[in-house]
A and B are shown apart, each in its own frame.
Chain A
Amino acid sequence: MKKYISITAAILISMVNFAQQVQVQVILPPFSSRVTDLFDRSGDVLIIATNTTNQAITFRLDAQLDFEGEVIARVRYQDSPNETLNGLETKSYRLKDLIDLKNALNYDRSFATTVLRSGYAPSGTVTWCFSLLDANNPLIVVAPQTCRSQLVTAFQPPIAILPEDNAILNINTLPIFRWTPVTPAFLGPLNYEVQIFEVLPGQDPMNAFRSNQPIVSRRTQALQMVWPLDIIREAGTYVWTVRAFDDLNNPIGGYETFSEFRSFSFNNDITNLSSDFSETTIDGAILMSFFPKGSKTPKYEMFVPGTNKEAAKRLFDESDQSRTYNLKITEVKNIPANITNLGTPILTGSGDIVKVVTEDGGVLTFNRNQQNNITIGRNSIIFIDWKDEGGIFNLDGKGTKRTTSQAQTKPDLL
C-alpha cells in the first residue's frame, strides 16, 4: 500500500513540477481598512501571468484574502472562469475582470462579525494569495501560490482642541488653533487644512459650517496655526474645523474626515459691552438693556454670548414684564442653536428677585443689590453686578457701570 501511495505522490509531484510553467506577479492597490474599500479595491488587484512554455495553458483561479494569517474571504476554484494563456504569452488580469467578486467572495463569519460593529478591519496585515490551477484538474498547479501583503490601518482624523467650543476671544489678539495629530503616526507627508466659517445672522454654527464659504482656509504641516496675519479679524461668531490630507491630497480618516467643528466669538472687549454697533457686529448674543427708572432710553447694554435662541426670543417677548426691574432684553442676535426646543419660559419672582425659568431648567435670576448669577440654557453663565440707585441707574451706586461676563461651556443639569 505504501508503495502505491509513494508512486502516486511521485506522479503528482512530477505533474506539479511539470505544470509550474506560469510565472505570476501580484500587484496590490493601496488598501484602506474600511471593509467596503478593502473589497472594492480588491477588484483592482493586478495579476500578471507569463506562460513560460510553448503550449497554451488553460487555468482557473484559486485565491484567498488573509487578515493576520486568518482567511477572511476566498475565491473558489469552482466559481472561477477558464482563462487561457498562449505559449510564451504574458497577460495582465484585474481581479474584477476575472470574476464577479460580489458573488465569488465567501466571507469568514468571525471576520464579518468583527467588522460589523465598526465597518473597519482591525489594524493589521492583509494578504492576497493567488494560485493558478489547471482548468480541468484542480490538483494540477499551473502556478504555485503567490502572495502579496499590505499593512492596513485606519487613522484617527484630527480633533479640534483650541479654541475650545464657545470660546470668547479678544479681537485684538491673535488666536492659536490647535488640534490633535493624525494617529497612528502617519509616515508620509501630511497637510492639515484649517477652515474657519463666519456664522451669519439667522444661522446656527451647523448651518454656517455646512453652507458658508470659509473665510479662512489654510494648510500647514504643524499641529497648530496662528490666525493668518494677513486676514483681519472682525467681531462675530465663527466655527472652525480641521482635516488632514495625505500627499495625494486624499483626506485622512474614515467616515469622518472633518473634526467636529468648534465655535468661537471675537468680541471687541468683553468688559466693555455697551458697543454701539453690537447689533450688526456681534453675533451669538442677546442684548440686555438696563433702563433708568421711568426712562425709555437704555442706559447700559450688555451682550450675553452663546445663549439660547428660542429662549432669548421669548424673553424678548416678555420684555415689558421685566421693565419693572430695570432690565429689558431688547435684541436677539444670531444665537448658536445649541438647544432650540426649550418651550415657553416662565417669569416668576417678586420684590428683589425675578427669575426666568426655561423648560430645560435654565434659570435667569436677578437679585437686587448683590451679584447676580444668570444661567440661560445649558451653555452660558453670566455675572452681572448692578444696583439700582433710584432715579439714575448705576451699577455700583457710584455712577459707574460694572459688567462682567463669562461664557461657560459646561452643560447645566440643574
Chain B
Amino acid sequence: MKRTSLQINIMELASSMWLNRNENCKLGVLFDFNFKIYLRMNKTLIILCFFSFVGSSVFSQDTTKVKKTKDKVKITGSVQITHDFYSLSGNDIGHLNARRPSNLSRLILTPTFSWKKVTLPIEFVLSSQATNVVTPASRFNDPYSIFSQIRSFQDLVNYVSNPINRVSMSPIFGKFRINLGTHTPNYSELVQGNISMFGAGYEYLGNKFFTSFSWGITQPSVNQDTLNNMIGAYRREQYAFRVGFGSLRKNYVAFNVTGGKDNMSSVDSPLRGVRAEQGIAGSLQYNFIIAKHFSWESEMALSILTDDLNAFEIDFKELGINIPNVFPLNLSTRADIAGSTALGFKKNNVKIYAKALYVGAGYKSFGFPFFQSDRLELTLNPQFSFAKNKWFVNGSAGTRTNNLSGTKSAPMNQFIANINVNGRITDDLNVNASYGNFGLRNSVINDTFRVENIAQNINFTPSYTWTHEKSIDLFLMSYSHDRFEDFNVLTGNISNNQSNIFLVSWNRTLNNLPFSVGLSYSNFQFNSSFLQLSNQSVNVNWGYNFFKKRLRTNYSIGRLLNKPESNVSNDRQWIASLGIDYRSKTKYGFGLRWNTNNYIYGSARPNARFNENTLRFNLSKQF
C-alpha cells in the first residue's frame, strides 16, 4: 500500500527555478491569472514559483538597492525556503497514520531595514497548508489545499491569521514600536502571554513609563464540515493593553488587561458543539528590588468570562449579585481570581527562587488559552556552585493542589522534587547526576477511588574527554533507572513499572581533517506486570566537511531491535539519515536532509512492514 511518493522532480524544478532567478515564473503573472487558470496549474509549481520569486526579489534588493543606499539603509536578515516531502508505504499498517503532510512548503523571510534610529523588522513565515486545531488530519494529505481555497479577501485574512503563518512588520522608532500583522504581546504570567495575534498594536518602552496595546485575530473562522469531521471555529477577536510605571529591569508597577469575543457571524452557520465565548481579564503586576540581594514580583488578576454566549440568560442583579455589566451575562458567566507572588535571592554563586501561584477554578484569560485552572502551586528553586564553580547544584521542590473548588470530588495533591549535580572532577572528567521524585494522591481512602502514585528517577552520566595530538575523543556513559508505583487496587497492577536505560557513546573528532565519527549503543528495558518492552540500538554517524567547511556532510545509520511486548519476536528496524549543507561565500545556502525508517514487525504483527521517508531541503540567503 503506497500512500504518497517522493517527488524529487519537483525539488529539482525548484532548484532550477531558484538558480535561474524566476525565468520560469513571475509573481506578477501569477496574480494576473484568474483563479480558474490558477487552479489548473500544478499547485506545487505555483507555490515554489511564489516562494522562489519572493526569495529572489529580496536578493535583488540586496544586490541593487542596498548598493544605491549604502550609507543610508542597511538590510540584514535572511530568507529561507523549505520543502518537506514525506511518504509512508508498507503492508498491513492500518494502525499507522501518515505522520506528516506529504508535501509542505514554507517561506521564512526575515529582513530588517535599518536607517539611523529607525529599524523595520519584517517577518514572513508562510506555509502551503491551512492546518490548525480545528482542521482534521485528513486535510493534511491535501498538498497546498489552502491555495485552492483562497477565493476572497476574507479567505486571505484567514490564511495569514492562521497560527501556522506569521506575517509581521514592526517599525521601531527609538523606544516606540509599532506591531503590524502577527505579533505576540507578552505581558505577564496570568493575563497575556503566549497567544499570537494577527492585527495591529504599539509598544512604548521608556525608562520610567511603558505601555502597549494590541488588537487582532487569534483564531480565524472555520466553517463546520461534518462530512470532513471539521468542528469549525468562530473567529476570535482579541485585544490587550498594558500600562506601567518604572523600569522593567528594576522596579515597576503595571496594569494589564486582555479581552476578546468569538464572532458568531464569522461562519456561515452556527457551529454545533462549539461555544462562542467572550471574556476579559485584568491584573495588577509589580516587581520590586526590595533589598540588595532580594527581588519580589507579584501579580493579582481577575477574569470574567461568558463561556457560552447562547446560554440561558440570568438577571444577576435580581439574584443580588453585582458584577460589572461589561458584556452579555448569562448562566455560563463566571468570575474568578488568580494570583502569583515570587521572591528571589541572588548573591554570588547562590540563587534561590520561591514562588506561589493560585488560579481559581473559574479563572480564564484569552491570553493563555490552554491554562489549567483550579490549582495552588508552591515551588522552591535553589541553586549554587562551589569549588571554584567546578561543581554546580540546582534543584526544585514543589507542591501542586488541584480541585480547590471541590467541583471534582476530592482534592488532589502533587509533589515534585528533583536535584541535579554537575561536577568537573578534572579537566577531562565530568559527571552529572540527577534524582527526581514525583508523587500524586487524592484524599480518597477507598481503594477503587484512591489515586496515589509515586514516580522516581535517577540518572548518572559521566563523560571523559581524551585529548591527543591528532584527535579528540569523547566517551560518555549514561544510566537511568525509573520506577513508577500505583497504589490503586484496580489500576495498580497494570500501571506499576520500572525501566532501565543504558547508553554508551564514543565520538572522535580529528584535528587535522574535517572528519568526525561517532558510535553509540543504547539499551532500554521496560517492565511491568503485563508488558515487557525492550529496545536495543546501535548507531554510527560520521561527518566530513569540504571546501573549508562550506560543504558539510554527515551520515548516520542505525540498527534497532524492538520488542513491543513479551512473548513476541523482535521487530527489526533500520534507520538512516543523510545531511548536506552548503554555504557559499556570498551567504547563499542549500541544505538537504533525508531520513528513512525501514520497519519490519515481528510476531506481534506478522507480515506487517513499512518504509517511511522524509526529505527536507532548504534554500537560504543571508543578507
Task: Please report A residues at the B interface, Cβ cutoff 8 Å.
Answer: 33, 35-36, 39-40, 101-102, 105, 107, 109, 112-113, 115-123, 153-157, 159, 161-162, 170, 172-174, 176, 178, 180-181, 183-185, 187, 200-207, 209-217, 221-224, 226, 229-232, 234, 254-256, 258-261, 268-269, 271-272, 274-277, 279-281, 297, 317, 337-341, 343, 357, 359-361, 370-371, 373, 383, 385, 396, 398-402, 404, 406, 408, 410-414
Contacts and interface: CB of A to CB of B under 8 A. Distances in A.
A60 B360 CA distance: 42
Contacts of B43: none
Contact of B405 (A122, A258, A269, A404): A122
A121 B374 CA distance: 14
A183 B478 CA distance: 35
Task: Say which size band chain B's interface belongs to.
Answer: 35 or more
A109 B320 contact: yes
A117 B186 contact: no
Contact of A202 (B125, B333, B351, B548): B125
Nearest to B311: A36
Interface string B285-310: 00000000101010000000001100
Contact of A174 (B383, B438, B509, B524): B524
Contacts of B342: 411, 413
B360 A118 contact: yes
B438 A161 contact: yes
A121 B407 contact: yes
A161 B233 CA distance: 29
Contacts of A339: 186
A176 B499 contact: yes
Interface in B307-362: 307-308, 311-314, 316, 319-321, 323, 331-336, 342, 344, 346, 351, 353, 355, 360-362
Given A118-B360, A229-B564, A183 B571 contact: no
B218 to A, nearest CB: 9
B133 to A, nearest CB: 5
B16 interface: no
Nearest to B390: A371
Given A210-B132, A213-B101, A340-B186, A280 B140 contact: no
Per DSSP, chain B at the interface is strand
Contact of A117 (B331, B405, B474): B405
Name the prevailing secondary structure of the A interface residues: loop
A410 B370 contact: no
A153 B321 contact: no
A402 B336 CA distance: 51
B396 interface: yes
A385 to B, nearest CB: 8
B557 interface: no
B337 to A, nearest CB: 9
A210 B579 contact: no
Interface stretch (B27-35, B55-63, B446-454): B446-454
Interface stretch (B6-14, B147-155, B256-264, B535-543): B535-543
A101 B140 CA distance: 43
Interface in B584-623: 591, 593, 595, 597, 599, 601, 610, 612, 614, 616, 618
Contacts of B467: 398-400
Contact of B593 (A221, A261, A269, A281): A281
Contact of B451 (A33, A183, A259): A183
Given A102-B313, A185-B444, A185-B451, 13 more contacts: A105-B312, A112-B316, A112-B321, A116-B362, A119-B334, A120-B407, A156-B408, A159-B414, A173-B522, A212-B131, A276-B579, A340-B184, A341-B185
B465 interface: yes
A173 B292 CA distance: 45
* Among A113, A154, A204, A212, residue most surrounded by chain B Cβ atoms (within 10 Å): A212
Contact of B408 (A40, A123, A411): A123
A159 to B, nearest CB: 7
22 contacts: A40-B311, A118-B362, A120-B361, A122-B405, A123-B406, A123-B409, A153-B407, A155-B408, A156-B412, A161-B416, A173-B503, A178-B484, A181-B451, A206-B194, A211-B127, A213-B137, A269-B505, A275-B554, A280-B618, A370-B389, A383-B392, A413-B342
Nearest to B537: A172
A410 B396 contact: yes
B515 to A, nearest CB: 11
Given A172-B537, A213-B140, A413 B552 contact: no
Q: Which 8 A-B pairs have the closest CB atoms?
A: A413-B344, A211-B164, A118-B361, A184-B409, A120-B407, A202-B125, A276-B552, A229-B562
A332 B48 CA distance: 24
A361 B360 contact: no
Contact of A414 (B96, B346, B474): B346
A360 B362 CA distance: 30
B497 interface: yes
Contacts of B490: 185
Contacts of B163: 206-207, 210-211
B145 to A, nearest CB: 12
A116 B307 CA distance: 11
A102 B313 CA distance: 7
Contact of B402 (A156, A222, A276, A406): A156
B575 interface: yes
Given A276-B545, A400-B465, A154 B362 contact: no
Contacts of A113: 319, 321
A413 B346 contact: yes
Interface in B508-549: 509, 511, 518, 520, 522, 524, 526, 533, 535, 537, 539, 541, 543, 545, 548-549
A159 B372 contact: yes
A313 B476 CA distance: 33
Contacts of B374: 118, 156
A399 B518 contact: no
B563 to A, nearest CB: 8
A133 to B, nearest CB: 25
A224 B96 contact: no
Contacts of B476: 269, 271
A116 B185 CA distance: 29
Nearest to B571: A229
Contact of A413 (B295, B543, B614): B295
Nearest to A398: B467
Contacts of B402: 156, 159, 183
A255 B279 CA distance: 14
Interface string B170-207: 00000000000000111000000011100000010100
Contacts of B185: 341
Nearest to B549: A297
Contact of B494 (A221, A276, A370): A221
B422 A406 contact: yes
A172 B186 contact: no
Contacts of A260: 370-372
Given A156-B408, A200-B106, A256 B373 contact: yes
A277 B499 CA distance: 32
B533 to A, nearest CB: 6
A157 B374 CA distance: 11
B245 to A, nearest CB: 16
B39 interface: no
Nearest to B130: A211
Given A116-B321, A201-B82, A207-B164, A276 B403 contact: no
B573 interface: yes
Contact of A276 (B360, B451, B488, B543): B543
B488 A277 contact: no
